[in-house]
Structures are given as C-alpha cells and as structure tokens.
Structure 1
C-alpha cells in the first residue's frame, strides 16, 4: 500500500474516533427525512394490523415505528415515502 494512502487512512480512523468521543464534529451529516408513520396510517383510516398488511410488515413493526423505537428502512421506507406523496396508493397496496 502506498505510504501516503496509508497515512490518509490512519488519519481518517483517528478522526472517526474523535467524532465518536465527541471531541470533533463531522464535516457533514446527511439526514433523510422519515415519514410520520402514525399520521400516514391515521390518514388512511386503517388499524395498525391493516396498515401493516398493506405495507408488508408485521403489526408490531408498525407499532415500533409509530413509537419511534425503530425506524423504517429499505423497501418499507420507499413504500411509506410513496404513501406520503400519494396516499391513494394504499388501495393498490391493500389489493395485493
């Protein structure tokens, strides 16, 4: 490995440790806005188990999302974002 590349890697690791310890702020932080699952579900008029079936997850996961104990990710997040932009697709999801 090139010595300069190795030194840059070591410096990056040291910065990571400093950020984790709170001694340094990251240069940038990228945050994705998360949908308000409870508001989405309530807007559809569905119960948690019905909404879970439409989205393709368990009712306990929907409950965890609503209580902010867990956060949607992957395809479930995409579906929730689609619902946020177009609530009418809930009917298509329920039909699948």
Structure 2
C-alpha cells in the first residue's frame, strides 16, 4: 500500500477508536460558522458598493451577492471583510499605492 493509503487507513482507525470512546485517539474540532453582515460593514465606511469594492480590491458582483444574501463570503474573503470591519482605515492605508 502507498504512504497516502496507509495514512488514510491510519486516520480512519484513529477516528473509529475515538468514536468508541478513546479520547487519546483522533481529535475533534468545533467549527463555528458565523455569517457576517457585509452591508453593515460597507455602511460603516460610508462608501457606495462600487467605491467600497474599488477601495478594498473586491468584485462589485460578489459584493452585491453578499449584500443581497444570495451568497456568503467564505475563507480569505470572510477573514478580509472581518479585518475591514475592525480596522477599515488601516486596511486602506496598507493598500495605498498597490
């Protein structure tokens, strides 16, 4: 069996032992999925959708979808918007001249 195959099998066995009650085997992660209010983040800046997208290097199309609730930002976009919500001026300063 390949190394990848052995790793998968080993992980599956650890998961099974964990499910059977052995807390020393495997690990569990709690994932909290929070939805961020993109419209309120933009409103805090006082910028239009187009100006906000341009200022922070985002797609106007994505911004409109997020604000309408048709999609939710994920991964790096979600993290980036969270930083913008906390420190919008710092982000804009960092992006100046790019």
Matched, 1:65 2:66: yes
In structure 2, the CA distance between the partners of 1:88 and 1:94, relative to structure 1 (3 Å rule), is same
* More relative contact order, 1 or 2 (CA 8 Å, 6+ apart): 1
Q: 2:88 & 2:76 partners in 1: Cα distance? A: 17
TM-score, scaled to structure 1: 0.59
The equivalent of 1:35 in structure 2 is 36
TM-score, scaled to structure 2: 0.59
How many pairs does the alignment contain?
76
Matched, 1:54 2:55: yes
User: What stretches of structure 2 of length at least 5 have no aligned partner?
Assistant: 1-8, 17-28
User: What stretches of structure 1 of length at least 5 have no aligned partner?
Assistant: 9-27
The equivalent of 1:77 in structure 2 is 78
SS of the aligned residue for 2:88 comes to coil
RMSD of the TM alignment (CA)?
3.0
| 1:74 positional shift | 2.5
